[in-house]
Amino acid sequence: MLDLTTTIPGPLAADVEEIVVAAARRHREHPYHRAFADGTLPPVVYAHFARQDSYHLLPDYGRAFARCAARAAEPTHARFLSRMAAICLDSVASDMRTIGDTLRGLGLSPEQADGAPPVAPATRSYTYFLTAAGVTSLAAGLGALLPSALLQMRINDHLLAHYTAGSRYAALIEQSHPGEEYRRLVDELLVLVNEVGAGASTGERAELLRFVAEAVRHEWAFLEAAWRLQT
C-alpha cells in the first residue's frame, strides 16, 4: 500500500500541510502529469522538463542544501543538510550519464536529447530564488527547499498508483520513483524543519512559510514552462 500522505509533525504542520497538499492536488491534475501517466505526453515536452531539471535546477537545488548546511548552527542539522546536498549533486552526475540515452530511446534526435539546453526563464527564476533564499536565512532556505522534496514524493506516489501499464512512460515512472529510502530522508528533513521552527522566532517561522509558498509558485511555473515548451 502506497503512502500518499506524508505527515509533517510539529508546530508548522497545519500551515505547511495546507500549502503542500493543495499544491500536490493541483500538480496531479496538471495536463503534464496526466499525459505522463497515460503515455500521451509528447517526448519533446518530457525532454524539456527532464533536461531543465537535470542540467540546471537540480544542481542549484543541491547547492541550496549546501548553503543551508553552512548556516545551520546545530551540527546534526549541518551534517544532514550536507548529506542532502551530496545526494542531489550525485543525482546530477547520474542523470547526465543516462538522460541522453533515455531521450533518444523516446525517439528524439541527438540535438533534442544531448547536452545542456539553454536555461528557460522559469528555470532561471527558480534557481535565482533558491540562491536568494539560502543567503537570506536558514529558515528561508529551508522553506525554499521543502516543497520540492514533498511534492516529488507525493506526485511520484500518485503516478506509480495511477499510471497506465504498458504506456510510453510506464518504465520511467517505475524507475524514477525515489523509493522508501528517499521517503525516510524527507521525513528526516521534516523533523529538522520542525526542530528549527521550534527554536525560531515568530518572524522566522513566518519567513519559512512565506518561502514555502513562493517555492510552490516556482514549482508550478517550472511545470508550466515544460508543458508550454518555454524558451
Residue 8 included in any domain: no
Range of the domain at 118: 13-227
Q: Is residue 169 included in any domain, yes or no?
A: yes
Q: How far apart are CA 1 and CA 32, in angstroms?
A: 25
SS3 content of the chain, % helix, strand, coil (to 5): 80, 0, 20
- What are the angstrom distances between the C-alpha of 214 and each of 23, 35, 129? 11, 26, 9
How many domains does the chain divide into? Answer: 1
Region label for 201, one of left (φ > 0), alpha (ψ between -120 and 50) or beta (otherwise): beta
Within a domain: residue 97? yes
CB atoms within 10 A of CB 55: 19
Q: What is the CATH number of the domain that holds 170?
A: 1.20.910.10
Residue-wise pLDDT tens digits, 59-89 = 999 999 999 999 999 999 999 999 999 999 9
Alpha helices in 29-120 (DSSP H): 31-38, 43-52, 58-71, 75-105, 110-113
The answer to whether residue 120 is domain-embedded is yes
Q: Is residue 3 part of a domain?
A: no
Q: Is residue 205 part of a domain?
A: yes
pLDDT in tens, 91-150: 999 988 899 999 999 999 999 999 999 999 999 999 999 999 999 999 999 999 999 999
Residue 5 lies in a domain: no
